[in-house]
Amino acid sequence: MQRAFRKTAAACACALFPALAGAAQQAAQTYPARPIRVIIPYPAGASYDTIMRIVAEPVSAALGQAIVVENRSGASGIIGADMLAKASSDGYTIGMLGDNHTILPAVGQKTPYDLFTDFAPIMRIAMIDNVVVTHPSLPAKTMKDLIGLLKASPGKYRYGSGGTAGSTHLACARFSQLMGVDMLHVPYKSGGLAVLGLAGGEVHFMIPNMISVKQHVHAGRFRAYAVASKKRSAYLPEVPSAPEAGLGEFQVTQFYGVFAPAKTSRQVLARLEKEIGAAAATEAVKSKLAVQGADAYSEKPEELTKFLKNEIRVHKDTAQFANIRAQ
């Protein structure tokens, strides 16, 4: 009796697994059959929201389905990221993650998800360079002058950030680490307030993103010394790149990456990768991103994973050097 039961159960399983596999394959072939939700872990109107909407429009047209952006902000992006990690892996929920999600593990912040096991990376769709700037009252005209000035007066000059353990804090701490200078950190409640603090002379130094500084540099309210990138930026073409300014491989960028929940099928991920990459390559998307000070970007999932690991490594090194911990 028991042996007969086992044979029957095995036969049922053998019949069931091909059926399930066939159903999954059919679902992937007809994907997408309904609207796709995109979780943004930041509020409406933030750069992540704006950039995702720019790319989502042509992707929606290519897929023949609406793409619905859902803003779930809070806890430095943890709330929205956790929602994405716990979403169904059927391809109908994807999301965008960014800088904070590589900083959090580097500064010891516990999260209810793991960046490498709970998400399926698709690609970065945009990058924004950061810029080394000061208040124009500083007498230094070049990067060499600036570093000399900072070294000559340890602790005299102040740098602003959008908050302790945030991206601009880590960027300035990294600069101090690599250049061997000592500045006083002044955390503000937001990056926007820190930029205003620099414009008003409350702090002397910052490394904010291109969106925040471009107009201030053109208006003469900030002095720009270098774009924290391997090459010059079309948005501030007169400003040297990091290597040109003597900063070596110093790089600070804000990235916008698209992810799906782990275990999303390869066929679905491949379709999303294809259409998102095609959208990011269009001149229409590039032009709209340029208005935001952003450069369109596309890559393979494995390249994004490599990038994430390197970002965490760099952030962790700086956090240990500067004794930066999650608040």
116-148, pLDDT tens digit by residue? 999 999 999 999 999 999 999 999 999 999 999
Specify the 3-state DSSP secondary structure of 96. strand
Are the CB atoms for 190 and 206 separated by under 8 Å?
no
For residues 66-84, give the mean pLDDT.
97
Q: Which residue has the tokens 């095609």?
A: 278
For the chain, give percent helix, strand, coil, nearest 5.
45, 20, 35
In a domain, 5, yes or no: no
pLDDT of residue 11 exceeding 90, the answer is no
CA separation for the pair 171, 227 (Å, rounded): 12
Same-domain check for residues 124 and 144: no
Q: For the domain that residue 276 is a member of, what is the CATH number?
A: 3.40.190.150
116 and 260 share a domain? yes
Could you tell me if 274 and 192 lie in one domain?
no
pLDDT at 17: 52
10 has a pLDDT exceeding 90: no
pLDDT tens-digit readout, 221-243: 999 999 999 999 999 999 999 99
Asked if 139 and 225 sit in the same domain, the reply is yes
**Measuring CA to CA, how many Å separate 205 from each of 99, 117, 150, 157, 163?**
21, 38, 10, 8, 15
Residue 20 CB burial class (10 angstroms; 0-12, 13-18, ≥19)? exposed
The reply to whether 216 falls in a domain is yes
Number of domains in the chain: 2
Q: Are residues 72 and 103 in the same domain?
A: yes
Do 231 and 262 sit in the same domain of this protein? no
* Same domain (yes/no): 150, 223: yes
What band does 9 get if pLDDT is binned at 50, 70 and 90?
low
Within a domain: residue 13?
A: no
Asked if residue 86 is part of any domain, the answer here is yes
Domain-embedded: residue 12: no
For residue 24, being part of any structural domain is answered with no
Ranking 10-14, 67-71, 115-119, 273-277 by mean pLDDT, the lowest is: 10-14
- Render pLDDT for 257-294 as a digit per residue (tens, 0 to 9): 999 999 999 999 999 999 999 999 999 999 999 998 89
Domain boundary among 219, 251, 283: 251
Q: In this structure, what CATH number is given to the domain that contains residue 164?
A: 3.40.190.10
Phi, psi of 290 (to 5 degrees): -60, -35
Q: Would you give the distance in Å from CA 220 to the centre of its chain?
A: 29
- The pLDDT value recorded for residue 325 is 95
Q: State the pLDDT at residue 20.
A: 47
Tokens of residue 131, six digits: 């810029």
- 143 and 102 together in one domain: no
Residue finishing a domain among 251, 278, 311: 251
In terms of residue numbers, what domain contains 190?
Answer: 132-251
Strand pairing partners for 98? 256
Mean pLDDT computed over every residue of the chain: 93
Residues 146 and 113 in one domain: no
Q: Which amino acid is at 124?
A: R
Tell me if 16 is assigned to some domain.
no
75 residue type, one letter: A
Asked whether residue 163 carries a pLDDT value surpassing 60, the answer given is yes
Pair 115, 222 in one domain: no
Which of 143, 125, 84, 165 is closest to 282 using CA atoms? 125
Give buried/exposed letters for 98-127 (b at 16+ CB in 10 A, else e). Answer: bbbbbbbbbbebebebebeebbbbbbbbbb
Do residues 316 and 95 make contact, with C-beta atoms less than 8 angstroms apart? no
Is 48 domain-assigned? yes
Report d(CA 239, CA 226) in Å as an integer: 6
**Under 8 Å between Cβ of 270 and 301:** no
Distances from the Cα of 249 to the Cαs of 175, 229, 230, in angstroms? 11, 8, 7
Q: Do 91 and 237 have their domain in common?
A: no
CA neighbor of 120 nearest in space, from 277, 255, 262: 262
pLDDT score, position 15: 56
Give me the amino acid identity at 70.
Answer: E
Measured CA to CA, the distance from residue 216 to residue 207 in angstroms comes to: 13
The region that residue 94 occupies, defined by phi over 0 for left and psi between -120 and 50 for alpha, beta otherwise, is beta
- pLDDT at residue 327, as a whole number: 80
1 pLDDT tier (thresholds 50, 70, 90): low
Between 11-15, 61-65, 130-134, 173-177, the lowest mean confidence (pLDDT) is in 11-15
pLDDT-above-70 percentage for the chain: 91
> Do 247 and 136 share a domain, yes or no?
yes
pLDDT of 141 reads 96
Q: What percent of the chain has pLDDT over 90?
A: 88
End of a domain among 251, 268, 283? 251
pLDDT band at residue 216, thresholds of 50, 70 and 90?
Answer: very high
